[in-house]
Structure 1
Amino acid sequence: MTATTEWLNSTTPSPESSNLQLKDIVKTIPRECFEKDSRQAWLKVLLSVTAAVVGYLGIIYLPWYCLPFTWIFTGTALTGWFVIGHDAGHRSFAKRRWVNDVVGHIFFLPLIYPFHCWRLLHDHHHLHTNKLEVDNAWDAWTPEAFQTANPSVRLFYRAIRGRLWWIGSIFHWALLHFKPANFNERDRSKAVFSMAVVIIFGAVFFPVLVLTTGWWGLVKFWLMPWLVYHFWMSTFTLVHHTIPEIHFQPIANWSAGEAQLKGTVHCDYPRWVEILCHDINVHIPHHLSVGIPSYNLRKAHASIRQNWGEVIHERRFSWALMKQITDQCHLYDPEQGYRTFQSLQ
């Protein structure tokens, strides 16, 4: 008997109920999925470092017409660096906090991402997933908020909800993670420290790169892989929480169990992408518990599919999927669900 069947056959609320409790869902995931394995964690590090080295060697030594392929490969490998830092930020990489902090800062450096700033803001996303006008990851605007916004802001929002979705992560990075005022006073010193680490790194790294390789070297070795990384970050984040069937809820109606189980999407990508990105696409178990390391996500998802398969959302990455999202999922009305920009005219 599956966990879903047990819910349906008991007096406890069913998976369709707004009273679905997160703790009861988490209890159905095997305990071994939460166990940290330092060997597997450091093997992921070895994989990501090796992949990045191979990518940069390709950029250096392969003919110029191979550059688009080496940029895509290297940028995807660097997305794996982010995922390692992502595990560290959730304290699921290592048992010791200082190891997580060191690993997180190191692997975020090439991406010019201040580790603690991201960690603190990302924790907010997990605490308020799909909570309308509160979630800070990729919150859908209501029609009212869109219509009252500045025209230039509306134009920008239309772009990142349309065919330019892949630049959304760049603006999220730039606008939120370098302002001390965005953080509580108790966390501000950590945020400022991470900003300082990134600024010092950039002040050394970029001039050295330009002096040794020229401005074309800056574009070739850093900018293009970095843009590919942001393509994946924008795509993963958008698809994780944005298909027509996903619901956002106002604060009064929001339920953590429902949001984390039914408000996130598992999406299958080409296997080489999943390997280089350490299964970040296996997203439902990660939202049920951030304590599950990336190397255990597939095992956890298999259990979730067995127990809750009738209520979770699964997709396969394709341009048709991205077209559906960018054509339909523009604004969110709590009463009607997703609405298009054209519906306001």
Structure 2
Amino acid sequence: MTATVSPNNLTFTPLSPDLRLKDILKTLPKECFQKDMRKAWTSVLTNILMVGLGYVSIAIAPWFLLPIAWIFTGTALTGFFVIAHDCGHRSFAKQRWVNDWVGHLFMLPLLYPFHSWRLLHNKHHDYTNKMDVDNAWQPFRPELYASLPKTIQLAYQGMRGRLWWLASIVHWAIMHFDPSRVDAKDQNKIRLSVAVVIGFAAIAFPVLFVTLGVSGFIKFWLMPWLVYHFWMSTFTLVHHTAPDIAFQEPEQWNAAKAQLTGTVHCDYPMWVERLCHHINVHIPHHLSTSIPSYNLRAAHQSLRENWGPYLYECRFSWPLMKAITDQCHLYHPTECYQSFQAYKRQTLS
């Protein structure tokens, strides 16, 4: 039976330690891996139309409807990121130069350096939920947390708690403008992408300030950008975090287990799913990044039929986010996570 229960009482059927990723991938239909340029470019055109519609709604909406316009536009801009995400995985087009050009262009409004994100994100895929190696939402070890200055501890508490929706901004600012975070052979690619982003901002922001003023900058760029980061923070947190999904010690880590059972399929409202190109159908994407976003649902249906007992599925809701932000704080070797409250009780005892 596929796991559709709450994240607090999910149990997994044990996987064979000899299971390999290719054993799982062999069960997926070959059609799931095929690129369809009509579908790819249709998603591009549709997404541009939705973002344009969003900005028109911001321009004409009375003040009391602006939050709705910001939410719609920011969610549509998240779709821009997902298209660039396909480009980063080379699952958008067959030609690398097309992937690079489209990826850069669609990340520009979000101020994301394409190559920087691509290279760092690929490390996450290579080492999903591998403790001390994965670079996405890895929980701090208690001893590391204890060694940090109080201000950093408080910031970490916020990012792991009710301020989770700001975590993507922190990750963007710290991780994606530093070429030293990748191998020397790739650092010039990051410098190129950073230069492209800075060049765009150097033109677009002054134009916004001159033509629309500070209020226009906030209204047309900052608020949709914050909505985008809300979704980025939420999507990426939920993709791999639940009270009973463990990060593995390096010596215990198994790629097939991590990608199949350490990745969460979460159902969001359909308008979010469509604007964001079904990126939250996330388990097949982690099994193979070569599956285009428009084939993820077909791939997931195949996984349900062949690997149903191993799939972790849930629905986006406040109880889900409350469970994650109340419990999933610090690494624990046997209980997956230790909450800040439990850690405090332990240190005081």
**Band the TM-score falls in, shorter-chain normalisation:** over 0.9
* Alignment check: 8 A CA contact 1:161 1:329 kept: yes
Counterpart in the other structure of 2:29: 30
Q: Deviations over 1:232-268 (max 9, x none)?
A: 0000000000011211101100000000000000000
Counterpart in the other structure of 2:42: 43
Q: Residue type matched to 1:247 in 2?
A: A
**Is 1:18 aligned to 2:17, yes or no?**
yes
Counterpart in the other structure of 1:103: 102
Q: Residue type matched to 2:269 in 1?
A: P
CA distance in 2, matches of 1:30, 1:235: 30
CA distance in 2, matches of 1:27, 1:157: 40
Counterpart in the other structure of 1:57: 56
**Is 1:332 aligned to 2:331, yes or no?**
yes
Counterpart in the other structure of 1:77: 76
Secondary structure, aligned partner of 1:292: coil
Secondary structure, aligned partner of 1:88: helix
- Give 1:211-226 correspondences, 5 Å limit: 211-226=210-225
CA distance in 1, matches of 2:190, 2:122: 13
- Return closer, same or farther for 1:47/1:15 CA change in 2, 3 Å cut-off: farther
Counterpart in the other structure of 1:274: 273
Q: Residue type matched to 1:255 in 2?
A: N
Counterpart in the other structure of 1:134: 133
CA distance in 2, matches of 1:45, 1:298: 19
* Alignment check: 8 A CA contact 1:167 1:231 kept: yes
Counterpart in the other structure of 1:123: 122
* Alignment check: 8 A CA contact 2:244 2:335 kept: no
Q: Which runs of 5+ in 1 are unaligned?
A: 3-13
**Alignment TM-score, normalising by the size of structure 2:** 0.94
Q: Deviations over 1:66-117 (max 9, x none)?
A: 1000000000000000000000000000000000000000000000000000
Counterpart in the other structure of 2:311: 312
Q: Deviations over 1:112-143 (max 9, x none)?
A: 00000000000000001000121101111121
CA distance in 2, matches of 1:89, 1:115: 8
Secondary structure, aligned partner of 2:310: coil
**Is 1:144 aligned to 2:160, yes or no?**
no
CA distance in 2, matches of 1:19, 1:80: 37
Counterpart in the other structure of 1:6: none
- Give 1:87-236 correspondences, 5 Å limit: 87-236=86-235
Q: Aligned Cα RMSD in Å?
A: 1.1
Tell me the CA shift for residue 147 of structure 1: 1.3
* Alignment check: 8 A CA contact 1:19 1:255 kept: no
Q: Deviations over 1:162-198 (max 9, x none)?
A: 0000000000000000011112110011110000000
Tell me the CA shift for residue 15 of structure 1: 5.3
Counterpart in the other structure of 2:7: none
Secondary structure, aligned partner of 2:265: strand
Tell me the CA shift for residue 212 of structure 1: 0.4
Secondary structure, aligned partner of 1:310: helix
The number of residues matched between the two structures is 333
* Alignment check: 8 A CA contact 1:279 1:294 kept: yes
